[in-house]
A and B are shown apart, each in its own frame.
Chain A
Amino acid sequence: MTSVTTRPRRRLAYTLDVKGSPYIYIAPFFLLFGALGLFPLLYTAYVSMTDWNLLETTRQWVGFENYAELLTDDYFWNALFNTVSIWLLSTIPQLLVALVVAHMLNRSLRARTFFRMGVLLPNITSIVAVTIIFAQLFGRDFGMVNWAIQLVGLDPIDWQAGTLSSHIAISMIVIWRWTGYNALIYLAAMQAVPDHLYEAATIDGAGQWTQFWKITIPMLRPTIIFTAVVSTIGGFQIIAEPLLFQSGTGNPTGGSDRQFQTVGLYLYEQGFGLYEFGYASAIAWTLCLIIVVMALVNFSITRRIKSG
């Protein structure tokens, strides 16, 4: 009879263990995410509905006024244009070059591991150092790029002063840092493509290039979607490069005419330069929504790549 009384209790403990313990295992992540992710997210939403300057003691509820102001703010639209421009100029060449680099690394090379690790080096160097060096390379009077341009007989360019020229210079930093990273992701995906597909194609007489377009790219579709979405998220948040490109002056205006101020930098200027926390929070949320929309658009475009 004892078994009759103990069995349900044991069964309960068993059920709890099976059904309950997984939640305990994953709880640390959700607790951390709640404290460091969700709470700031919601709190920022609340702050964005207030008129709060850190230098003033008052804090007023203003509803959606900050957002309304943002939509008529020339500097916000300017920053959004700059962000999109720098993102396009950096992401498209970056992913294309990464594909080619991955394709080359996928062949049987001498010292393959060396080259594979090598492409990741730019990514692990300090962004501060990289940007400062690039700012020197693109210097007006003694920059190496201008020196090279003059060798060819062209006029030197004031890279920081122009809109397009500054965007190109900043995109170069992004491309230099992230191409290798994306190449490694593509490489990993390429290695998962079964060899027999290539063998069959070779037997059918398909050349290298055809194989690349007809087999490799379609097989890489999920990875390309992934990198495109991640690059979108990263590209829209870009802040360190434009901030440091104007280095030394300590001001986040992104050039004398805000010609390379991105949305992230504008957020930083409003929040931590002018201490307008309410307005900066509204920018943060708007930026978040823009990223979500752009990521979805990107997802829907890249998924059209024909799968094998």
Chain B
Amino acid sequence: MSSRMLRVLAGTAVLGVLAAGCGSQGGDAGAGASGGEKITLSLNLFGNMGFKELYAEYEAAHPNIKIVERTSAYNDHHRNLAAHLATKQGAADIEGIDTGFIAQFRGQPQHFTDLNQHGAAALKDRWLPWKWEASLAKTGAQIGYGTDVGGLAMCYRRDLFEKAGLPTDRDEVSKLWPDWTSYFEAGKKYTANKPEGAAFFDGAPQVFNAMVGQMPVGYYDTSDQVIVASNPELRKAYDQVLEAVAGGQSAKLVGSSPAWNTGFAKSQFATIACPAWMLAKIQDQGKEFAGQWDVAAIPGGGGNWGGAYLTVPAQSKHPKEAVELISWLTAPEQQIKVFTKHGILPSTVATYDKPEVKKLTHEFFNDAPIGEIFTTAALNLKPQYQGPRAGDIQTAIRDGMNRVEEGKQSADEAWAQILKDIDRIDK
């Protein structure tokens, strides 16, 4: 065995010991909880979920509760959680889970506290129906309460549209693409007169994901069978996107890569499917484009990209207190605070009518009514069943589409390899 592997294993062992140490500390604190002693509730999250200010408020109302939040990087967080659940050791009282991983963890409901046993049914109407269903296990157990969603819109550059002879007003732009076919038609018109170096969209897989998200059935049927090969809608969308790539509409940038970040600053694309949380990123990557970016509706009308859940692992020593905390954090009153302070879009429908949410506009994006645009997209999205390995399947398809964009394979060759890769994932 390589010494690197040894180090990885050693590191894991050490982490396990440390985590176990933390866990037992929590246990000690909880032993005398009935006597009014302090209970420490730990939260393991990824990135900033905007809860920091709320903890103090909760602690003030519950003097016996102390809240400790730990954050780590997105991938590390979910990998650690999987390991902690499997070894039944080291998980926090509350663990955040991203939409991209929820289907995988939902497949192991035995590792989580069933919130339905703690009065979840009475709260069900708080959330968007698809948000609620995505964390519902086959056994009927509810493993998590939804925090935020991404919604989905189509951000576009007014200046580039104008140069290419397309309308710039956001309502007219939204009318330009009621569905994806008309979006690619608009792309054709744009490409015919496009400004030098600025393609129509950022990269094929990103557009494809937005399209798949709107389909009634995606990669899985409801019995967890992978149906990528037999779902004609998928292949149709795949061909549609790659045809647009062949027509020069794509900037061929891999999503989330450094080159993609540079693409914002260098104006390499005129449109990008953007969830609410991406607005901050677009702004950061190119401050000089204030007022040039605008937000139109997503083709097809509804969509979501991203969002998270709060769960209580079964190994928590204080399931009751932990469930109380997550149901408080995800309540509409708190979610409005998170939204107004951090711009993180809630998954709680009840907040969508509130003027703070509905009337919100964004100066950088030419005063676009982002509150209305994103809540409409979230409301219009029809629930789609997500299977356990949907994320890995998405990666296989992304790689395949990148191969076509890089000119290494034809669409057919890439598709054949995608199906082979998915067979391996699904075996």
Quick one: which of A54, A142, A239, A288 contacts B83, CB cutoff 8 A? Answer: A54
Within 8 Å CB of B379, what residues of A? Answer: none
- Scan A86-113; emit 1 where CB is below 8 A from any B CB, else 0: 0000000000000000000000000000
Within 8 Å CB of A205, what residues of B? Answer: none
Quick one: which of A55, A246, A248, A284 contacts B104, CB cutoff 8 A? Answer: A55
Within 8 Å CB of B255, what residues of A? Answer: 249
Q: Do the beta carbons of A256 and B5 come within 8 Å of each other?
A: no
Bound CA–CA A72/B228 (angstroms): 25
Interface residues of A in 241-285 (CB under 8 A from B): 246-251, 253, 255-257, 264, 267, 272-275, 284-285
A140 contacts B by Cβ under 8 Å: yes
Chain-B contact segment, one of A23-31, A131-139, A189-197? A131-139
Within 8 Å CB of B263, what residues of A? Answer: 141
Bound CA–CA A139/B9 (angstroms): 34
Bound CA–CA A233/B4 (angstroms): 10
A199 contacts B by Cβ under 8 Å: no
Chain-A contact segment, one of B37-45, B242-250, B341-349, B398-406? B398-406
Chain A interface residue count: which class?
A: 35 or more
Closest B-chain residue to A140, C-beta based? B259
Q: Tell me, rounded to whole Å, the shortest Cβ–Cβ distance linking A298 to chain B.
A: 16
Interface centre among B263, B403, B409 (most CB of A within 10 A): B403
Bound CA–CA A36/B17 (angstroms): 13
A41 contacts B by Cβ under 8 Å: yes
Given contacts A41-B1, A257-B399, A272-B79, contact A55 B258 (CB under 8 A): no
Q: Do the beta carbons of B9 and A249 come within 8 Å of each other?
A: no
Q: Do the beta carbons of A139 and B262 come within 8 Å of each other?
A: yes
A237 contacts B by Cβ under 8 Å: yes
Within 8 Å CB of A256, what residues of B? Answer: 399-400, 402-403, 406, 408
Given contacts A141-B262, A248-B257, A256-B403, contact A161 B13 (CB under 8 A): no
A145 contacts B by Cβ under 8 Å: no
Bound CA–CA A141/B407 (angstroms): 16
Q: Do the beta carbons of B4 and A237 come within 8 Å of each other?
A: yes
Quick one: which of A37, A43, A247, A273 contacts B258, CB cutoff 8 A? Answer: A247
Quick one: which of A57, A161, A247 contacts B257, CB cutoff 8 A? Answer: A247
Within 8 Å CB of A302, what residues of B? Answer: none
B48 contacts A by Cβ under 8 Å: no
B166 contacts A by Cβ under 8 Å: no
Bound CA–CA A143/B82 (angstroms): 38
B340 contacts A by Cβ under 8 Å: no
B266 contacts A by Cβ under 8 Å: yes
B240 contacts A by Cβ under 8 Å: no
> How many pairs, one residue from A and one from B, have CB atoms within 8 Å of each other in the complex?
106
B286 contacts A by Cβ under 8 Å: no
Quick one: which of B74, B262, B388, B425 contacts A55, CB cutoff 8 A? Answer: B388
Closest A-chain residue to B402, C-beta based? A256
- Scan A168-199; emit 1 where CB is below 8 A from any B CB, else 0: 00000000000000000000000000000000
Within 8 Å CB of A147, what residues of B? Answer: none
Bound CA–CA A288/B408 (angstroms): 33
Q: Do the beta carbons of B2 and A287 come within 8 Å of each other?
A: yes
Q: Do the beta carbons of A139 and B82 come within 8 Å of each other?
A: no
**Interface size of B in residues (CB-CB distance below 8 Å):** 43
Closest A-chain residue to B14, C-beta based? A36
Q: Do the beta carbons of B3 and A237 come within 8 Å of each other?
A: yes
Closest B-chain residue to A268, C-beta based? B8
Within 8 Å CB of B406, what residues of A? Answer: 158, 161, 256
Q: Tell me, rounded to whole Å, the shortest Cβ–Cβ distance linking B61 to chain A.
A: 38
Bound CA–CA A43/B268 (angstroms): 50
A84 contacts B by Cβ under 8 Å: no
Q: Tell me, rounded to whole Å, the shortest Cβ–Cβ distance linking A146 to chain B.
A: 12
Closest B-chain residue to A43, C-beta based? B9
Bound CA–CA A34/B216 (angstroms): 55
Q: Do the beta carbons of B254 and A249 come within 8 Å of each other?
A: yes
B86 contacts A by Cβ under 8 Å: yes
Bound CA–CA A264/B8 (angstroms): 12
Q: Do the beta carbons of A141 and B268 come within 8 Å of each other?
A: yes
Bound CA–CA A256/B425 (angstroms): 16
Q: Tell me, rounded to whole Å, the shortest Cβ–Cβ distance linking A36 to chain B.
A: 4
Q: Do the beta carbons of B258 and A142 come within 8 Å of each other?
A: no
Within 8 Å CB of B5, what residues of A? Answer: 40, 44, 267, 284, 287-288
Q: Do the beta carbons of B408 and A141 come within 8 Å of each other?
A: no
Given contacts A161-B408, A256-B402, contact A142 B10 (CB under 8 A): no
Q: Do the beta carbons of A257 and B395 come within 8 Å of each other?
A: no
- Scan B1-28; emit 1 where CB is below 8 A from any A CB, else 0: 1111110011001000000000000000
Q: Do the beta carbons of A36 and B400 come within 8 Å of each other?
A: no
Q: Do the beta carbons of A44 and B258 come within 8 Å of each other?
A: no
Given contacts A158-B406, A161-B406, A256-B400, contact A249 B1 (CB under 8 A): no
Within 8 Å CB of A236, what residues of B? Answer: 2
Query: Which residues of B come within 8 Å of A, CB atoms?
Result: 1-6, 9-10, 13, 74-75, 79, 82-83, 86, 104, 107-108, 110, 254-263, 266, 268, 388, 392, 395, 399-400, 402-403, 406-409, 425
The 7 closest A-B pairs by CB, nearest first: A256-B402, A40-B9, A161-B406, A36-B10, A248-B257, A288-B1, A256-B399
A sample of 4 more A-B contacts (CB under 8 A), given A272-B79, A287-B1, A288-B1, is: A54-B86, A142-B262, A256-B400, A284-B2
